[in-house]
Amino acid sequence: MAAQDPGELFDVVDEDDRVIGQATRAEVHARGLPHRAVHVFLFNSRRDLLLQRRSAWKDEFPLCWTSSASGHLDAGEDYAAAAVRELREELGITAELEFLTKLPASPETANEHTALFRADSDERPVFPPAEIEGVEFFPLHDVAERIQDDPAAFSPPFRELFECYRQRAFLQEANQAFADLRGDEKAWNDELRERKFWEATLSDGLDPHEHFD
C-alpha cells in the first residue's frame, strides 16, 4: 500500500529557487533534485505546538515527528497557496497564515527550498490516517528536550525549522525587553551589552537556551 503518488509532478529548481524543469516525485527523491516544500507550525491558545507523526507509508522519514502540516508544492503552485492547501488537507483546518522564514535547499532540508508559516487555532485537527500516524500538542520546551534526547525521532527538515523558530522567538523577546527599557538609561546600557553578547552567540551557532539550563 502506498499513500503517495510516485508520479506526482514537482517543479525542479536551482540553488536560487528558480524553476528549471519538472520531474516526478520518484525521480526528484531518487536523484536528490532541488525542489520546493512548505511547513506550517500550528499553535493553540496555550502556545503549544502541534506535531504530527508521519505515516509508516511515507517515502521519506516514516514514523518521524514533524511540523503540524507540511508538503511539496505542486508544479506551478506558490508557497502561500501550498501552505493553505496542506493545512486544510492534512488537518482539516483553515486559518490565517503568517509567513515566518524560508530556508534554502540543502541536505538538512531534504533538498527542499522550504518556506515556514505559522497559524493559530483551537480547532480539533482531523487528519487522514493514510498520511499521518497521529498528532499531539507539545509545549515548545518539551519539543526542544525531545529533540535533544532523540533527534532521530524527528524529521531533519523539522529540526532545522524548529531551531530557526526558537532563535527567531528568542530575538523577538529580547527586542521587546530592549524596547521596554528605553526610559531607564542604566538598564538600557546594560541591556545593550547583553544584546551584543547574544547576537555574537547566535552568529557563532551556539544555542542561547543552554545558558538558562
Q: For residue range 162-179, what is the model confidence (pLDDT) as tens digits? A: 999 988 876 666 566 656
Task: Say yes or no to pLDDT of 98 above 90.
Answer: yes
Please check the confidence at residue 211 and state whether its pLDDT lies above 50. Answer: no
Q: What is the architecture, at CATH level 2, of domain 9-150? A: Alpha-Beta Complex (3.90)
**8-35 mean pLDDT:** 95
pLDDT at 184: 61
DSSP secondary-structure letter at 4? S
Q: Report the alpha-carbon distance of residue 47 to residue 107 in Å, rounded.
A: 30
Give kind and range of the element (H or E) at residue 65: strand 65-66
Average pLDDT rounded to a whole number, residues 45-62: 92
Contact status, residue 191 vs residue 165, Cβ threshold 8 Å: no
**Which pLDDT value is given to residue 183?**
59
CB 164, CB 207: distance < 8 Å: no
H or E segment and range at residue 72 = strand 69-72
Q: Cβ(42)–Cβ(120) under 8 Å?
A: yes
- 2 pLDDT above the threshold of 50: no
pLDDT band at 140 (very low <50, low <70, confident <90, very high): very high
Asked whether the predicted pLDDT for residue 57 surpasses 50, the reply is yes
Contact assessment for residue 147 and residue 154, using Cβ atoms and an 8 Å cutoff: yes
Is 0.85 topped by the overall pTM?
no
- pLDDT tens-digit series, residues 29-45: 999 999 999 999 999 99
Angle at the Cα of 175 from the Cα atoms of 170 and 177, rounded to 5 degrees: 95
> pLDDT averaged over the chain?
87
pLDDT (mean) for 36-64: 94
